[in-house]
Structure 1
Amino acid sequence: MLYGIFIITLSYFISMQVIDRMMPVRRRKNNSPLPNHSRKDNKFLKRLFWYHLFLSFVYYIYAVFNPSDSSNYYRKIIEYYRGPEWSDFYGTSTTFIEWFGFPFVHGLGFTYEAMMALFSFLGFLGFIYFYKFFRERIIFENKLFGFDLFHLFFLLPNLHFWSGSFGKGSFIFLGIGLLFYGLNNIPKRYWILIIGALLTYHIRPHILLVILASSLIGFTFSTKGVGWGLKLIMILIAAFSLAFIYQDVFRMVGVNEETFLEEGLNMSHRARELSSATSGLDITSMSLPEQVFTFLFRPLFFDAPGMLGIIVSFENVFLLLVTLTFLFRGGLFFILKGDFAVKTSFFSFITVSIALAQISGNLGIAIRQKSQVMILFLFVIIQLYDDQKKSEFRARMRAAKRKAVLNPLDSGYLQELD
């Protein structure tokens, strides 16, 4: 326990330094009508550290009294002490978590609590990079039912609960956060993009496959002024990457490559395996829309598996409401005309959701897995709100210029939005 407290203390000071570097407090530009969020962002992220830590502690208490992957990982690492060499366990998915944790447990003597604290810190780094990705594109304060959507999305407990423990959730959240932060400025952040891709590959190769394909679609159909030569290079890079990881993808979803080529993709056997638990659902008889809805928005109180399911139901109701609001505000048309980031985020989200919905017959697994990609859809939602605010702002600025209200020094306000 004392070792865990030491790791928490160390991660606190590191996190504060990272926040100050990523989200520095900036002075407001003279006479700029655009909001300056820097001080609020810095303060919010520093408070978010304690919120994330609290929900990580809640998961720790949950794991003490219930079977959990985190305790299984630690137990297996302990058993490796007299077994094969450390390098023999290198691989993707579960084996990568065990391989990564081995030197901390056997080299540095980390206790179970210390490993939980370490992975909670890794998950929080994911929130910092996602927050920075959001803030670079979201300018205005966007409210729903009187609440600031930007901050509200980052307070959803399911995101913190599953990314704050010793396991794949923390790593995949950090990996995807690095990926999209890097995609927002590829020339200057290509090394962050590579690190994010490597992390995502080692945890969920199939998710990296989807993000690569989605990035290709987003780049090809959204980027203006880019010649087909560069687009062809992007296609070749994506094709090479897909060829490199496709075998791991098949292995992860439990599909034989030869069977796939002969019969196509049939994951009903995985659905039956995962629906055998007490919180399982027989999804094999559902239509695809029902499967996707179940994955994204259930449980909804009436089918909640225990106290955890009831708590998650509140969040699912909120997600259902914001999704309906998004659709009513022209969300589908927005996706079609959206830029690279919007298309990549949405296609990554919807493709992973459709794939996982077909095998996540266990509600507990669905709750955990959807937290890995739900934040991408939340970005698309808030981007819609912000783009509509930008359009209104530009209209007001143009009207003001026509009335000669703005002085010549203010002519750069419209360009500041682009």
Structure 2
Amino acid sequence: MKRFFKAYKNLCLLGAYHFFFVILAYYYALHHPADSQLYWFKKEYTTHKNWLDFFNVGTDFILFINYAFAKFLQLPFWFGFLLYGAIGFVGILQFQKLAYKILGSKEIVVRNVNVLPFLFYLPNLHYWTANLGKEALCFLWISTILLKLAQQKYRSLVLWLSLICLFILRPHVFLMLFFPILVVYFVYKKWNWKFKVGISMLGLFVCFLCYYYFLILSRVNSFSWARLQHFNEYSILSFRNSGSYVPILEYTYPEKFFAFFFRPMFLDAYNIFMAVLSIENLVLLIVHLIGVYVIIRNFRSFKFLMIEKIIIGFVCIAFLLYIQRYAGLGIFVRTKVMIQPFFMIVLLNSIFKYLTLKREHTHHD
């Protein structure tokens, strides 16, 4: 046992840390209204329906996945959190592999301290990937897609399964990820033009299909731009009665960016959870400021990997779309779990490259 713990100490510590958040998420769901109650068939919506009734694009797909466990086997509510906590943990391990792949190292040493492991212990990341919900699934699939692309394993079965499942569960998230993949590969891959045109036509069809399902699922049911804008404004104003409402329509884009990625801050905190989030957001803000400064200062000398360009495109598109519909700190911290951790890898890789170049210059001098 001691040998096992010694060999897998970091994995065991990360797993124990994640399991704490599984317990926390479960007890929160027991005493507060939560989507997880719907996903484990504890709401009226799920009554008088059979398994195949849930085989649809959108939220129903998570009910289709859970039906065997919650209905056939009648497994308890806590088992759902244990199951999704395990799924989320696998997603974090995939995310960890992606970070190591992009960085080409398992260390970023600053003043003799390896700061990279802190990326894998972000409380908000663990809380939402420990929850019985869509975030655990989406984070696993996004991490797997990006990892397999970074490894250039284009024929990987898990890559294509992840793409298909993400498309079915969250078509708009699939679109936000798939579009930058399509653009980056079209621009930078050395394929012949016939193949590029063929892939592009197929890709654009898939994008159109995603957008169509988004309109259906969001009940816009029309390609009218005016109707879509009206719906988005209605969606934003629907958050006014929530305790964490943000007047996003009145904000400039820098204010929207700050609110989405770095709030709540300490002035927003009214309980222990918000205080912990404030500390995390302050750390993230510092890393973002340093990373962006390093990128701007060394923009000409830095060469971004294709996977980094995909991540940057994914983050930009996701931010621009989500702020059109959401206006609450609660939904912000929940949504950015699928976006911000990947951008952190890009920023940390830029800082790592800068520190490496600085050490080389110092050594030569």
Choose the corresponding residue for 2:30, options 55, 64, 72: 64
**Cα distance, 1:150 vs structure 2:** 2.1
**Cα distance, 1:356 vs structure 2:** 1.1
2:66 matched to 1:91? no
Read off the aligned partner of 2:98 and give its amino acid letter: F
Does structure 2 retain, via aligned residues, the 8 Å contact 1:335–1:342?
Answer: no
Cα deviation digits, residues 319-358 of structure 1 (max 9, x gap): 1000000122125837984121110011101211221123
Partner residue in 2 for 1:342: 308
Partner residue in 1 for 2:79: 114
Choose the corresponding residue for 1:171, options 121, 137, 146: 137
Partner residue in 2 for 1:299: 264
What is the distance in 1 between the residues matched to 2:17 and 2:29? 19
Does structure 1 retain, via aligned residues, the 8 Å contact 2:102–2:150?
Answer: no
What is the distance in 2 between the residues matched to 1:298 and 1:257? 34
Cα deviation digits, residues 80-100 of structure 1 (max 9, x gap): 46x122101222332111121
Partner residue in 1 for 2:177: 211
**1:253–1:85 CA distance, 2 compared to 1 (3 A):** closer
Partner residue in 1 for 2:115: 149
Q: TM-score, normalised by structure 1?
A: 0.78
Partner residue in 2 for 1:375: 341
**1:254–1:291 CA distance, 2 compared to 1 (3 A):** farther
Q: How does 1:394-405 map to 2 (within 5 A)?
A: none
Report the number of matched residues.
358
Read off the aligned partner of 1:85 and give its amino acid letter: N
Choose the corresponding residue for 1:183, options 149, 174, 199: 149
Q: Which has the higher contact order (CA 8 A, sep 6+)?
A: 2
**Cα distance, 1:116 vs structure 2:** 0.9
Partner residue in 2 for 1:364: 330
**1:97–1:377 CA distance, 2 compared to 1 (3 A):** same
Choose the corresponding residue for 1:130, options 69, 73, 95: 95
Partner residue in 1 for 2:69: 104
Read off the aligned partner of 1:371 and give its amino acid letter: V
**Cα distance, 1:237 vs structure 2:** 3.2
**1:264–1:97 CA distance, 2 compared to 1 (3 A):** closer
What is the distance in 2 between the residues matched to 1:114 and 1:264? 39
What is the distance in 2 between the residues matched to 1:244 and 1:334? 38
**1:304–1:166 CA distance, 2 compared to 1 (3 A):** same
Task: Give unpaired runs (5+ residues) of structure 2.
Answer: none
What is the distance in 1 between the residues matched to 2:320 and 2:300? 21
Choose the corresponding residue for 1:385, options 321, 328, 351: 351
Q: CA RMSD in A?
A: 2.9
What is the distance in 1 between the residues matched to 2:324 and 2:268? 19
Choose the corresponding residue for 2:223, options 250, 258, 281: 258
What is the distance in 1 between the residues matched to 2:60 and 2:148? 26
What is the distance in 2 between the residues matched to 1:249 and 1:386? 38
What is the distance in 2 between the residues matched to 1:370 and 1:334? 29
Q: Matched residue of 1:197: which SS?
A: helix
Does structure 2 retain, via aligned residues, the 8 Å contact 1:335–1:343?
Answer: no
**1:254–1:303 CA distance, 2 compared to 1 (3 A):** farther
Read off the aligned partner of 1:330 and give its amino acid letter: I
Bigger-Rg structure (1/2) = 1
Does structure 2 retain, via aligned residues, the 8 Å contact 1:93–1:204?
Answer: yes
**Cα distance, 1:275 vs structure 2:** 3.3
Cα deviation digits, residues 130-177 of structure 1 (max 9, x gap): 111221232342135764332111110100101111111111111111
Partner residue in 2 for 1:352: 318
What is the distance in 2 between the residues matched to 1:243 and 1:311? 40
Q: Matched residue of 2:282: which SS?
A: helix
What is the distance in 1 between the residues matched to 2:46 and 2:62? 13
**Cα distance, 1:252 vs structure 2:** 4.3
Q: TM-score, normalised by structure 2?
A: 0.88
**Cα distance, 1:77 vs structure 2:** 6.5
Q: Matched residue of 1:136: which SS?
A: helix
What is the distance in 2 between the residues matched to 1:115 and 1:232? 44
**1:173–1:203 CA distance, 2 compared to 1 (3 A):** same
Task: Give unpaired runs (5+ residues) of structure 1.
Answer: 1-19, 21-38, 400-418
What is the distance in 2 between the residues matched to 1:118 and 1:188? 28
Does structure 2 retain, via aligned residues, the 8 Å contact 1:250–1:257?
Answer: yes
What is the distance in 2 between the residues matched to 1:295 and 1:146? 33
What is the distance in 2 between the residues matched to 1:166 and 1:253? 22
Choose the corresponding residue for 1:328, options 293, 297, 315: 293
Identity of aligned residues (%): 24
Choose the corresponding residue for 2:205, options 240, 263, 278: 240
